[in-house]
Amino acid sequence: MHASSSMTARAAASCCAPMQVTAACIVHSGRFSARLFRSAQRARVSDEKKMPATTDLKLEEPGSLSPPGLIGRLVRLGFGVLCLSHIYWLLQISDNLIDEGGQIRSILWNGIVIGLFLISYVVNIGFSRAWKKWPAVVSAIVFLMVAAYGYVTAGTIETRLLAQALWVWEFYVFTHLGIAFVIAAIIGTPGCEMRAFHDLYSRLTGKPTKEHYCPVGPLHPIDQWESRNNQS
């Protein structure tokens, strides 16, 4: 009986040993995963604190950014042509903003989304203002107020007043952008095209002005790629 009990105990121990090892591995793996997750969370929070929003103003000292190469200039010129073509069509409908069906012409609706996306960069970088997303927020609020006023007074949001507000706003945004893109392409402004007027002023007067990298779109990656190729 004693020998049989000993054999049974050893068999049970031998069966439990792998289970204990597996359980220990699971516990250690869980602890390691938890530590890894906490480390990743701390790193993410730290990066979020370090990295500013793309609409934050971050001016660099003159000469900090590399001027664009041929491809960067051509891309800037292409964007400039697109912006100025929108201005051309706005001028074509300037006397007839409402179509025959009493609706605001589609060209105005087509420009509002991209305009709201870009207006904060146009204002902040173009005028050296740290206003974050407020230019876009204020613009949207104004449009909503005009639309609400039209709905209350005329039963529709698509009033001539809203059409005129959209026309004037888009005309400014895309004119500023289009001319800035063309100037940046011609003179090779480093970084964001919205510093093209400042760069042109520096070249005409000899007074240095600060630069700003292009926070959105393909220009910054293209400029970096061309700069690396030129150095190699």
pLDDT tens figures, 125-142: 999 999 999 999 999 999
Nearest to 218 by CA among 79, 60, 121, 53: 79
pLDDT at 23: 42
Q: Say how far apart CA 166 and CA 68 lie, in whole Å.
A: 33
> pLDDT tens digits, residue range 191-205?
999 999 999 999 999
Residue with tokens 């919205």: 194
pLDDT at 166: 98
Distance, first Cα to last Cα, the chain: 84
pLDDT at 124: 96
Q: Collect the ranges in the chain with pLDDT lower than 50.
A: 1-9, 11-30, 32-34, 36-37, 39-41, 43-52
pLDDT at 54: 75
Q: Say how far apart CA 192 and CA 184 lie, in whole Å.
A: 8
pLDDT at 229: 87
pLDDT at 197: 97
Within 10 A of 23 (CB to CB), how many other CB atoms are there?
A: 11
pLDDT at 232: 65
Q: Say how far apart CA 107 and CA 39 lie, in whole Å.
A: 49
pTM of the model: 0.76
Who's near 191: CB < 8 A, 6+ residues apart? 60, 65, 211, 212, 213, 214, 219, 220, 223
